[in-house]
Structure 1
Amino acid sequence: MPYLFLTLAACFWGGNYVVGRVLVTQADPMVISEGRWVITALLLLCLYQHQVRNDLSKIRKSIGPICLLAIFGQILFPLTLYVGLQYTSSLNASIYLSATPCMVLVMNKLLFNDTISKNNILGVLFSTIGVIYLILQGNLTNLSELSNINKGDLWAMASAMSWACYSAFIRLKDKSISGNAFVTVSAVLGSVMLLPVALVYFYFYPVSNLAHYTSTSFLLGLLYIAIFASWLSYLFWNKGIIDIGATRGQIYTHIIPLSAGIFSILFLHTPVAYFHIVSIVLIVIGIYFCSRK
């Protein structure tokens, strides 16, 4: 059962890339991000308020790390992703995400002085080459393209980096805080901290085409993100990790870019080029080396 939970969580997160790609054609990324976490926060408060109360003293002592994680996980990661999806494909964005295990490895070495083996170095090297190959679209002789990167790709890379920061800093959280309470507080903090930023943004860039925000397709997409990509995915992930441990469960993060790519091809009919395949292979090789003891 824990393997099913972890697989479903990763697939729900992968679906976020496809649904997000559709939603950004109808709505402003800021509306999507704020709406997502407001709905999720209200839902989780109704479900897990008792667990939050039980862990309230622990939460107060760890409010600094929790706020830091909320900034990276609830604000920067989804917001930069939705902005990027306006200009690049969900397939490209998911491939960038697949490089995050190697990013986390480097960050853990620089910030926490973790040991990096030769296999780890090889993994980072292969993954970096894979990302650069994707940026150049397979044309290694035209390095001038690095100065003309699609801005959507830059935002997608920023999103991947935000998730890497979240994954690296998760060790700072008090492990005795229950998973449900942690996710609930993170959702609340994310929605609250993003609100003033959203208000300033909307002051300079007023929301237009309000009809889009009441359409059935937009509301269903937002509900998918709130229920499946924000609530059930975290719930299932926590259950799976508790049962089999973080070390064995972490490998399931690799299903996220895989499922996102498959969903993008199936539902958005995203064309697959040879450089996509080569980039994926290089990044998978990098993940393999980083995952070895």
Structure 2
Amino acid sequence: MENRNALWMGILCALGATALWAGNYIIARGFHHSLPPVTLAFWRWFIATAVLFPVALPHLLRERAQVRAHSGYLALTALLGVTLFNTLIYVAGHATSALNLSLIAMVSPLFIVILAWLFQGEEMHKGKVAGTLAAFSGVVLLLSGGAPGVLLKMRFNSGDLLMVVAAFTFALYSLLVKRKPEGLSMMSFLFATFFIGLVFLVPGYLWERGFSIAPMMPLPSVGVVVYLGVCAALFAYALWNRAIMLIGPGRTAVCYYLLPLFSGMEAMVFLGEPIGWIHLVSAGLIISGVAFSSRA
């Protein structure tokens, strides 16, 4: 019973993180003209770090020796998951289409499953392979509009390459989370990676501010950045990391395939975009793939 409860809790955490990240994609694309990519990433993580600080401070004081002892691990994890991942997405969004971004983002779960199998010994059983293929088929159906031939005509550019790098970066981050030192609480881990990743963003932020005529923080963007910092950064990363600790990176990764489904639902609610039969069939494939792959 305890293992089953951990399984369902892990799946729910992964789904919650994915739903919050779906909003991140929609908002980031809609406001990329208001804030340059590194500036958007900097303020996102600044807000996340500031909100988390008073909660994490007692944990940091108790575990400061552990934080110092594992500073190298924390720095690498922060560089991959905080500094590079979302910044690469924001930069890639200036050079490629939303279809390309969404499709390439789905490569990340495949990277996670393969790397977890190669380097962390996660079992690659038939159910996980079948579930992953079913979920990926649903994503392809959804993104191609029911005409997979469209994918063969897609042209790839520098933005697409950056998105591939972002997907691989996120896969490496997810594997590192699984190796979190036992003496380090998730609260200390989150704050340390947020803060270090924010520090790594400072040089790029200052460089971008020197060449941008955009205001430091346009008033209409404040609410957007607060959402990105609190919901799509703080809450989403906490849920994702918790899911990895409960059910492992492989199973957690499969839930990421629900990203286009959540994006479509949120686009329908907030942008008035319709949902057709393709969305329903795709949802069925994705959900069944996630369920099948995550079976105990």
Normalising by the residue count of structure 2, what TM-score does the alignment of the two structures yield?
Answer: 0.76
Instruction: Summarize deviations over 1:222-242 as a string: whole Å, max 9, x none.
Output: 11111222234445667x769
**Which moves more between the two structures, 128-137 or 163-172?**
128-137
Is 1:103 aligned with 2:106?
no
Equivalent of 1:118 in 107, 112, 126: 126
Change (3 A) 1:194 1:82: same
Cross-structure match for 1:193: 200
**Which moves more between the two structures, 255-264 or 276-285?**
276-285
Q: CA deviation at 1:174?
A: 0.6
Does structure 1 conserve the Cα–Cα contact (< 8 Å) formed by 2:138 and 2:285? yes
Equivalent of 1:39 in 43, 47, 52: 47
Is 1:221 aligned with 2:224?
yes
Tell me how far apart the structure 1 counterparts of residues 167 and 136 of structure 2 sit (CA, whole Å): 13
Equivalent of 2:69 in 40, 54, 61: 61
Instruction: Summarize deviations over 1:118-177 as a string: whole Å, max 9, x none.
Output: 22333444455555556765544467525x137655554543333222222212211331
Uncovered stretches (5+) of structure 1, i.e. residues with no partner: none
Taking the TM superposition and a 5 Å limit, the aligned residue runs for 1:217-256 are 217-234=220-237, 246-247=246-247, 250=252
How many residues align? The count is 283
Tell me how far apart the structure 2 counterparts of residues 266 and 93 of structure 1 sit (CA, whole Å): 21
Does structure 2 conserve the Cα–Cα contact (< 8 Å) formed by 1:94 and 1:260? no
Cross-structure match for 2:213: 208
Cross-structure match for 1:169: 176
Q: CA deviation at 1:274?
A: 6.6
Does structure 2 conserve the Cα–Cα contact (< 8 Å) formed by 1:126 and 1:285? yes
Cross-structure match for 2:270: 267
Secondary structure of 1:26 counterpart: coil
Q: CA deviation at 1:32?
A: 0.3
Secondary structure of 2:153 counterpart: helix
Equivalent of 2:97 in 46, 70, 88: 88
Change (3 A) 1:138 1:38: same
Taking the TM superposition and a 5 Å limit, the aligned residue runs for 1:278-293 are 281-293=284-296
Change (3 A) 1:169 1:158: same
Tell me how far apart the structure 1 counterparts of residues 156 and 68 of structure 2 sit (CA, whole Å): 43
Does structure 2 conserve the Cα–Cα contact (< 8 Å) formed by 1:44 and 1:231? yes
Normalising by the residue count of structure 1, what TM-score does the alignment of the two structures yield?
Answer: 0.76
Tell me how far apart the structure 1 counterparts of residues 280 and 90 of structure 2 sit (CA, whole Å): 24
Tell me how far apart the structure 2 counterparts of residues 52 and 69 of structure 1 sit (CA, whole Å): 17
Q: CA deviation at 1:209?
A: 2.9
Does structure 2 conserve the Cα–Cα contact (< 8 Å) formed by 1:80 and 1:155? yes
* Cα root mean square deviation, aligned: 3.8
Tell me how far apart the structure 2 counterparts of residues 143 and 221 of structure 1 sit (CA, whole Å): 32
